[in-house]
Amino acid sequence: MNLFVKGIAVCLMGVLMAGTSAFGGEIAIIETTMGNIELEFLEDKAPGHAKNFKDLARKGFYDGTTFHRVIPGFMIQGGDPNSKSTNRSTHGMGGPGYTIKAEFNDTPHDRGILSMARSQDPNSAGSQFYIVVKDSHFLDNQYTVFGRVIDGMEVADKIVSVSRDSRDNPEERVEMKSVKIVNR
């Protein structure tokens, strides 16, 4: 092999090895009552949020919580520990007992994006997250994108279509039976 070809091969290997988290690392598998959703993390864009989600998942924090807010044409939201309770009036109000600093980035809120929910304070995110079911660019640079769906978007589409109450909480529980972090 001549030096030129070796150089190209080395460059291509470097590009493939450097890549994004889409080519390796850990993913999350959310096992819901309606099927599984697999997520990859954008650790290069929001390392603190990716780490926070993984840490909570490893502790079993999300297991038994629900998708407590579903809005057709927009998103599904989950991750509130209060949603383990039958007292629906507290769903959407809970968190892990701490907040993390915003990591706004240039990733657009396209269909399938995983982003962190928060209150009016940009640095108020904790455990609640949402998956966008339709491009929602009005959220760009205001909420921290930290991952994307790589498999199971049809499950998110089923979840967003369930009947819901006046607070957009599904009438029937859509539970996250488990959220596991696994190697690709």
Q: Which domains does the chain have, with CATH numbers?
A: 25-183 (2.40.100.10)
Helix (H) or strand (E) holding 68: strand 67-71
Q: Which two tokens stand for residue 172?
A: 């029937």
CB 181 within 8 A of CB 54: yes
Per the listing, tokens 């769903």 go with 91
Whether 17 shows a pLDDT value over 80: the answer reads: no
Q: Which among 75, 24, 47 has a CA at the least distance from the CA of 146?
A: 47
Distances (CA, A) of 87 to 83, 94, 118, 129, 148: 8, 12, 21, 20, 30
pLDDT of residue 37: 98
Q: What are 50-101's pLDDT values in tens digits? A: 999 999 999 999 999 999 999 999 999 999 999 999 999 999 999 999 999 9
Q: pLDDT per residue over 167-183, tens digit each?
A: 999 999 999 999 999 99
Structure tokens at 120: 């009016």
